[in-house]
């Protein structure tokens, strides 16, 4: 399998997408097609290699066949101009006036170009003049001139399409409708339909282009260049893609960090709002890890690069938001299917209206005129354009707020859920433990901290790290052998030849080590040497500032909130009480596999779906099992990013509420658009059959609905 990405040019007809998709899929070599109208990208999965020139000729033929003039370019061809003259400088307060861009290298195509706008204006003026001319024949000549000026390209395209067998395309239907109007003597109606259709198209295109721009701005995380410091000290500007691991880059005030790495010189404050939606500056110093996409608001820093651009945070975010369009929500799939049937059905109705009633009343020309109304409203454009745009806007907006949603389908599912399960450590609590107390067992002459530190030497667990980072004791790596980490329990190792166990009650039980009862609301880590308890370390973790608020907000939506933890009963219950959780909704002392079993249990009770929120450490199975898996505050953890459906880039549990609210707004806008668009079309059809609606009204309603639906969808983007 090979994947190829392309940039699409001159594609204006959203309704053509599924036809192009079908056409591409009918080619043997193409396995999978994804077209994103709003980022103008085409991704293909091919089942075998093909000469690049032949491939692009084949694809372009398909595009041009469905929408004449549209074509694609290889993505690389269009991104070669990456280092542009534009500066990457920003001011730290107003990052809205953006200079960097997610550079697809494409310009916005304006299908409605200047010439056709001028012709439209002149045609409309002539149309207006025709009202003052009473002499019928002259009036008609003038209207024909207006029609040609305004609609010549539509008629031209429709003839082109007939030759290709596309009888139901918009241009063809508009041509038939207007020619029909001429045929029954409604000259001014024919011209009016064309004028409104063109004006509608123009505004629709502008609205779509504005949305495209807003989306690009939302995704404008990528730096255009990196300042690479060469070994001789010279600094050169290169593309972020050219920087290698361990290279040193320099980031000045007002520049975005182009790649993930660690600070090796200087300290500064960063604006990470692009990544997390968090507007407070974030202080970093020597040795601090920094993420690409952050904006340097302080002094100059030197960074040792730790990840290639392809693996960097920024690239992952951009890819995630772009790929989100590939995971199509049910609403979008429905509309695509609906669109395939809608047009033929409406055209069928038009034929029935034209043929059946006149059999009874003989008034052929009247029914023919009424039938034309059906042709005018036969494009499902309003829905085909606005539904994907609604999802895309919501996902774009969410990413700006630090919530990365991997697909419209997840947004759709989140809207329905009735249960949220939080993991405790690192999710509701900060996961930053501090050692409160060290207890040494009676009659034991050991340094408990030293033994514990040796045990945790290699651990990545937040508890392990805090113990192993204690600076007061130095451990020699050579003294440590046979390290094993037992998830949900702790660690075992051999230190200076003695077996060591460091972990919770369950770990001690596993090794049959008897332990004393310790009454506390802290996390207890038992330490054993030579299979004998020698002491314990008591640690505490802090609740996150907005955990309580998050739980309250979720409860206000009637959502059932649970907390799961591997920690002990005392601590689980006391934290649960503090943040307002129901005692029965708290489960403690769970091993990772117990957590998964609990989620399954809760899932069985839930009627509409379960969200699991974890910090990504040992959480991958839980994230996958839940209907929606949300990883929080761990943008660095690759497993979490892969397993989760949504990634929350900052540490706030209240983002879950924000996400659910967004999904509800998304749904509301979708419903409005669908009901409104279909409602208006149905009314126009009924009024048309009854002879109340004119062609004027029909086109006005049709174009207006499409425009309003697109504007409604872009409302979400405006919020940001």
The residues that touch ligand AMP, with contacts defined as CB under 6 A, are 425, 456, 459, 461, 463-464, 488-491, 502-504, 523, 525, 566-567, 592, 617-618
Query: Shortest gap between Cβ of 550 and ligand AMP (angstroms)?
Result: 19
28 or 469, CB closer to ligand AMP?
A: 469
46 or 486, CB closer to ligand AMP?
A: 486
Report which of 493, 463, 489 is spatially closest to residue 475, judged by C-alpha positions: 493
Q: How close are the terminal C-alpha atoms of the chain, in Å?
A: 39
278 or 450, CB closer to ligand AMP?
A: 450
Report which of 476, 518, 485, 522 is spatially closest to residue 503, judged by C-alpha positions: 485
Q: What are the tokens at 591?
A: 């091993």
Phi–psi pair at 230, nearest 5 degrees? -80, 170
Q: How many CB atoms lie within 10 A of CB 651?
A: 21
Distance separating alpha carbons of residues 708 and 272, to the nearest angstrom: 35
Report which of 650, 646, 619 is spatially closest to residue 633, judged by C-alpha positions: 650
386 or 459, CB closer to ligand AMP?
A: 459
State the residue for tokens 């489960």. Answer: 587
423 is catalytic: yes
Query: Shortest gap between Cβ of 414 and ligand AMP (angstroms)?
Result: 25
201 or 567, CB closer to ligand AMP?
A: 567
Query: Shortest gap between Cβ of 448 and ligand AMP (angstroms)?
Result: 13
Query: Shortest gap between Cβ of 554 and ligand AMP (angstroms)?
Result: 22
Element (H, E) at 12: none
Q: How many CB atoms lie within 10 A of CB 509?
A: 12
Cβ-contact 529, 451 below 8 angstroms: yes
Distance separating alpha carbons of residues 20 and 590, to the nearest angstrom: 51
274 or 562, CB closer to ligand AMP?
A: 562
Report which of 140, 157, 147, 141 is spatially closest to residue 122, judged by C-alpha positions: 147
Query: Shortest gap between Cβ of 464 and ligand AMP (angstroms)?
Result: 3
State the residue for tokens 């995630």. Answer: 320
Report which of 255, 224, 254, 294 is spatially closest to residue 91, judged by C-alpha positions: 254
Q: Which residues of 69-102 are buried (b: 16+ CB within 10 A; e: fewer)?
A: ebbbbebeebbeeeeeeeebebebeebeeeebbb
Please provide the DSSP assignment of 579-641 as one string: TT--GGGEE-S--HHHHHHHHHHHHHH-SS-EEEEE-SSS-HHHHHHSSEEEEES-TT-HHHH
Query: Shortest gap between Cβ of 636 and ligand AMP (angstroms)?
Result: 17
Active-site residue, selected from the candidate residues 88, 247, 271, 423: 423
Residues forming beta bridges with residue 2, ordered by sequence position: 46
Element (H, E) at 694: none
Query: Shortest gap between Cβ of 635 and ligand AMP (angstroms)?
Result: 19
307 or 489, CB closer to ligand AMP?
A: 489
153 or 594, CB closer to ligand AMP?
A: 594
What residue number has its CB nearest to ligand AMP? 566
Please identify every residue annotated as catalytic: 423
């Amino acid at each position: 399998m090979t994947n190829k990405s392309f940039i699409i040019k001159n594609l204006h007809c959203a309704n053509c997408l599924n036809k192009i998709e079908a056409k591409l899929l009918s080619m043997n070599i193409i396995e999978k097609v994804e077209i994103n109208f709003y980022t103008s990208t085409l991704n293909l999965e091919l089942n075998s290699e093909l000469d690049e020139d032949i491939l692009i000729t084949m694809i372009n033929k398909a595009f041009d066949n469905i929408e004449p003039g549209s074509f694609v370019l290889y993505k690389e061809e269009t991104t070669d101009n990456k280092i542009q003259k534009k500066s990457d400088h920003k001011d730290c307060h107003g990052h809205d006036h953006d200079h960097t861009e997610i550079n697809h290298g494409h310009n916005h195509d304006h299908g409605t170009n200047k010439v056709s706008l001028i012709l439209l204006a002149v045609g409309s003026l002539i149309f207006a003049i025709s009202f003052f001319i009473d002499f019928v024949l002259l009036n008609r000549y003038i209207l024909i001139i207006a029609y040609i000026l305004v609609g010549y390209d539509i008629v031209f395209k429709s003839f082109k399409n007939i030759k290709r067998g596309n009888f139901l395309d918009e241009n063809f239907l508009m041509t038939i409708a207007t020619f029909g109007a001429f045929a029954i003597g409604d000259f001014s109606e024919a011209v009016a339909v064309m004028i409104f259709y063109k004006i509608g198209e123009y505004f629709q295109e502008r609205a779509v282009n504005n949305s495209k721009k807003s989306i690009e701005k939302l995704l404008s995380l990528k730096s255009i260049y990196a300042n690479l410091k060469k070994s001789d000290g010279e600094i050169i500007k290169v593309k972020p893609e050219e920087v290698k691991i361990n290279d040193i880059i320099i980031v000045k005030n007002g520049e975005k960090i182009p790649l993930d790495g660690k600070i090796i010189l200087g300290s500064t404050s960063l604006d990470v709002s692009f990544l997390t939606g968090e507007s407070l500056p974030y202080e970093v110093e020597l040795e601090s890890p920094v993420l690409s996409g952050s904006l340097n608001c302080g002094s100059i820093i030197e960074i040792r690069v730790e990840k290639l651009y392809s693996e960097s945070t920024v690239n992952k975010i951009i890819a995630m938001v772009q790929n989100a369009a590939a995971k199509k929500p049910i609403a979008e799939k429905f509309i695509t299917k609906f669109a395939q049937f809608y047009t033929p059905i409406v055209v069928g109705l038009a034929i029935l209206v034209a043929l059946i009633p006149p059999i009874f009343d003989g008034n052929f020309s009247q029914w023919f005129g009424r039938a034309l109304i059906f042709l005018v409203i036969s494009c499902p454009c309003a829905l085909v354009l606005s539904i994907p745009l609604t999802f895309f806007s919501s996902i774009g907006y969410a990413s700006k707020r630090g919530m990365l949603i991997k697909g419209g389908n997840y947004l759709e599912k989140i809207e329905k859920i009735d249960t949220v399960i939080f993991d405790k450590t690192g999710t509701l609590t900060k996961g930053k433990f501090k050692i409160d107390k060290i207890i040494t067992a009676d009659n034991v002459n050991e340094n408990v901290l030293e033994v514990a530190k040796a045990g945790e030497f290699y651990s990545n667990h937040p508890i392990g790290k805090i113990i192993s980072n204690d600076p007061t004791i130095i451990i020699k790596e050579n003294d440590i052998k046979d390290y094993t980490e037992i998830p949900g329990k702790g660690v075992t190792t051999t230190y200076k030849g003695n077996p060591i166990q460091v972990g919770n009650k369950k770990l001690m039980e596993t090794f049959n080590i008897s332990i004393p009862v310790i009454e506390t609301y802290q996390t207890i880590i038992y330490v054993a040497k030579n299979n004998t308890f020698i002491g314990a370390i008591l640690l505490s973790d802090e609740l996150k500032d907005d955990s309580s608020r998050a739980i309250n907000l979720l409860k206000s939506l009637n959502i059932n909130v649970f907390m799961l933890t591997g920690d002990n009963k005392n601590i689980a219950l006391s934290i649960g009480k503090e943040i307002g959780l129901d005692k029965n909704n708290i489960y403690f002392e769970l091993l990772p596999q117990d957590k998964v079993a609990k989620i399954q249990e809760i899932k069985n009770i839930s009627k509409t779906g379960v969200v699991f929120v974890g910090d990504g450490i040992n959480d991958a199975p839980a994230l996958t099992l839940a209907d929606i898996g949300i990883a929080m505050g761990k943008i660095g953890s690759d497993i979490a990013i892969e397993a989760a459906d949504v990634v929350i880039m900052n540490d706030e549990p209240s983002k879950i509420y924000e996400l659910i609210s967004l999904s509800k707004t998304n749904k509301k806008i979708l419903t409005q658009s669908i009901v409104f668009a279909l409602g208006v079309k149905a009314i126009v059809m009924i009024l048309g059959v009854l002879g109340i609606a004119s062609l004027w009204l029909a086109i006005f309603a049709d174009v207006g609905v499409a425009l309003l639906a697109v504007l409604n969808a872009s409302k979400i983007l405006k919020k940001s």
